[in-house]
Amino acid sequence: MSEANTKKATLKLNGQEIELPIYSGTLGPDVIDVKDVLASGHFTFDPGFMATASCESKITYIDGNAGILLHRGYPIDQLATKTDYLETCYLLLNGELPTPEQKKEFDSQVRNHTMVHDQVSRFFNGFRRDAHPMAIMVGVVGALSAFYHNNLDLDDVNHREITAIRLIAKVPTLAAWSYKYTVGQPFIYPRNDLDYAENFLHMMFATPADRDYKVNPILAKAMDRIFTLHADHEQNASTSTVRLAGSTGANPYACISAGIAALWGPAHGGANEAVLKMLDEIGSVENVAPFMEKVKTKEVKLMGFGHRVYKNFDPRAKVMKETCDEVLGALGINDPQLELAMELERIALSDEYFIKRNLYPNVDFYSGIILKAIGIPTSMFTVIFALARTIGWITHWLEMQSTAHKIGRPRQLYTGETQRDIQR
Ligand code: CMC
């Protein structure tokens, strides 16, 4: 735990003074330790955790006003353009970028765990064919708990580390299969001669009938970058969910499944799918202005805009937009939805309503457009976010497991009935 500063906060409460310690991190605002408020018979109240630091962490730093996102100190734009996804995974897990030997060893470790137990493949049959792939992911990733429960000692660092590798390696297989299942195609097994993004695209799009299927390197590069840009994002809703579930000592596969469930919502990872649905609904550029009026009267939300933390710009969105231009240019795609998206962006960035509320395009505004260009069906967008975020979730889980932690157990402001007796 960080050392308390010499600075202290004083809370005056009913004539009593409570001194509260203040801690400083290496970057970012100081935090006030409010634990001692409890002894006075009060709770602190912060619905939505707007001003609450829920833990101490060394993994990711965000300065929302300056649009800064650092993983282990490195800016996201540098990671996205100078490393590949597995190097970023290594960095998140280990705190440093890998040497060439370490990279080779890590890549090979991940490649060797891409298969899933054959029994897992049968588990898919319990789902309806029209199930949303995210529903399947919540189920099958959670079901891995049944395969790796007995040999998982949470106090054993080796067991914890192999769990991280298994998850990074197996989630792409399960993600691709959740798509194959819904379109009624046979599962394609992982190929360890391909790199991480290529292997995923291969499992998504190859079929037994097309023996010569080759992954387009432009698409693999774009996919890898999308993975990197989504790798981690501090204590967001799904990561906090993973930490909360993990604080109880629950099986890590179950914790990641809880994270996937939390990510699914349209206010979080589900936004990338929602952006494309919104563009479909708007239909054409002349409908943008009336749609924006509906946004202003709060009938609808502008999906892919706004962020709890970023109030100037989302640094991931900047790189994503560049990638979007690159991919569409390289593929020669002239997507009318892109024109629509640009018109939405233009209006939002110049309109007082959006400026006043600091509403800027977030990462999901552009990722949906690239994913569509890659040929990924809309229902898989959030699954891809979950695949990429698995490294962030498991890194936070590992950090929590390797340090002293309490079960997460918030309290409440109770506004229900006072005690009463049953009148019978
Ligand atoms: N469209 C229209 N108005 C909005 C939007 C939006 N997307 N987002 C916020 N506002 C308005 C909101 O109505 C409120 O207005 P007022 O002050 O008049 O009441 C004001 O902006 C502040 O909004 P808030 O709901 O207090 O902001 P928040 O920090 O609680 O919510 C958010 C953040 C991301 C949930 C929200 O901006 C949103 O729902 N955005 C659309 C969904 C989206 O794109 N999510 C992906 C986030 S990035 C990927 C990820 O990390 O998950």
Domain span(s) for CATH 2.20.28.60 in the chain: 4-53
Mean per-residue pLDDT for 57-65?
Answer: 96
What would you report as the CA-atom Rg of the chain, rounded to the nearest whole angstrom?
23
Identify residue 310 by its one-letter amino acid code: Y
Identify whether the C-beta of residue 256 lies closer than 8 Å to the C-beta of residue 167: yes
Mean per-residue pLDDT for 336-342?
Answer: 82
Cα 380 to middle of ligand 1, angstroms: 23
- Residue by residue, what is the 3-state secondary structure of the chain? CCCEEEEEEEEEECCEEEEEEEECCCCCCCEECCHHHHHHCCCCCCHHHCCCCCCCCCCEEEECCCCEEEECCEEHHHHHHHCCHHHHHHHHHHCCCCCHHHHHHHHHHHHCCCCCCHHHHHHHHHCCCCCCHHHHHHHHHHHHHHCCCCCCCCCCHHHHHHHHHHHHHHHHHHHHHHHHHHHCCCCCCCCCCCCHHHHHHHHHHCCCCCCCCCCCHHHHHHHHHHHHHCCCCCCCHHHHHHHHHHCCCCCHHHHHHHHHHHHCCCCCCCHHHHHHHHHHHHCCHHHHHHHHHHHHCCCCCCCCECCCCCCCCCHHHHHHHHHHHHHHHHHCCCCHHHHHHHHHHHHHHHCHHHHHCCCCECHHHHHHHHHHHHCCCHHHHHHHHHHHHHHHHHHHHHHHHCCCCCCCCCCCCCCCCCCCCCCC
* Residue to probe by mutation, ligand 1, list 234, 296, 310, 359, most atoms within 8 Å of CB: 359
Give Cβ neighbours of residue 64 (< 8 Å, ≥ 6 apart): 307, 308, 309, 310, 311, 312
Give the three-class secondary structure for 229.
helix
Q: Is 301 in the pocket of ligand 1 (CB under 6 A)?
A: yes
CATH number (2.40.50.140, 1.20.1560.10, 1.10.580.10, 3.40.190.80) of 84-404 reads 1.10.580.10
How are beta strands 31-32 and 60-63 bridged, if at all?
unpaired
Q: From residue 312, how far is each of 76, 170, 183, 350, 409 by CA, in Å?
A: 16, 36, 40, 13, 33
Identify which has the larger pLDDT, 395 or 286.
395
CA distance 242 to 261: 10
Which residue's C-alpha comes closest to atom 12 of ligand 1?
A: 357
Q: How confident is the model at residue 4, as a pLDDT? A: 59
Which residue's C-alpha comes closest to atom 30 of ligand 1?
A: 308
pLDDT surpasses 80 at 24? yes
Q: How confident is the model at residue 22, as a pLDDT? A: 97
Mean per-residue pLDDT for 388-406?
Answer: 97
Domain 4-53 -> CATH class? mainly beta
CA distance 398 to 124: 28
Q: How confident is the model at residue 345, as a pLDDT? A: 87
Identify whether the C-beta of residue 348 lies closer than 8 Å to the C-beta of residue 356: no
pLDDT surpasses 70 at 399? yes
Q: Please identify which of the residues 230, 307, 314, 396 carries the catalytic annotation.
A: 307
CA distance 251 to 137: 16
Tell me the percentage of the chain whose pLDDT exceeds 90: 79
pLDDT surpasses 80 at 2? no
Q: Is 236 in the pocket of ligand 1 (CB under 6 A)?
A: yes
Tell me the pLDDT tens digit for each residue of 106-143. 999 999 999 999 999 999 999 999 999 999 999 999 99
Q: Which of 413, 317, 419 is nearest to 362 (CA)?
A: 317
pLDDT surpasses 90 at 5? no
Q: Is 302 in the pocket of ligand 1 (CB under 6 A)?
A: yes
pTM of full prediction above 0.85: yes
pLDDT surpasses 70 at 82? yes
Domain span(s) for CATH 1.10.580.10 in the chain: 84-404
Which residue's C-alpha comes closest to atom 46 of ligand 1?
A: 268
pLDDT surpasses 60 at 51? yes
Q: How confident is the model at residue 321, as a pLDDT? A: 87
CA distance 392 to 235: 10
Tell me the percentage of the chain whose pLDDT exceeds 70: 99
The sheet with strand 74-75 has its strands ordered as 60-63, 68-71, 74-75
Q: From residue 12, how far is each of 19, 40, 83, 198 by CA, in Å?
A: 9, 11, 51, 60
Q: How confident is the model at residue 3, as a pLDDT? A: 60
Q: Is 359 in the pocket of ligand 1 (CB under 6 A)?
A: yes
Tell me whether residue 364 is one of the annotated catalytic residues.
yes
Which residue's C-alpha comes closest to atom 45 of ligand 1?
A: 267
Identify residue 397 by its one-letter amino acid code: W
Tell me the pLDDT tens digit for each residue of 251-298. 999 999 999 999 999 999 999 889 999 999 999 889 998 999 999 999
pLDDT surpasses 60 at 1? no
Identify which has the larger pLDDT, 356 or 327.
356
Q: Which of 207-216, 259-268, 317-326, 330-339 has the lowest mean pLDDT?
A: 330-339
Identify whether the C-beta of residue 213 lies closer than 8 Å to the C-beta of residue 198: no
Q: Which of 194, 159, 162 is nearest to 176 (CA)?
A: 194
Tell me whether residue 307 is one of the annotated catalytic residues.
yes
Identify whether the C-beta of residue 238 lies closer than 8 Å to the C-beta of residue 260: yes
- CA dihedral for 355, 359, 362, 367, sign (positive or negative): negative
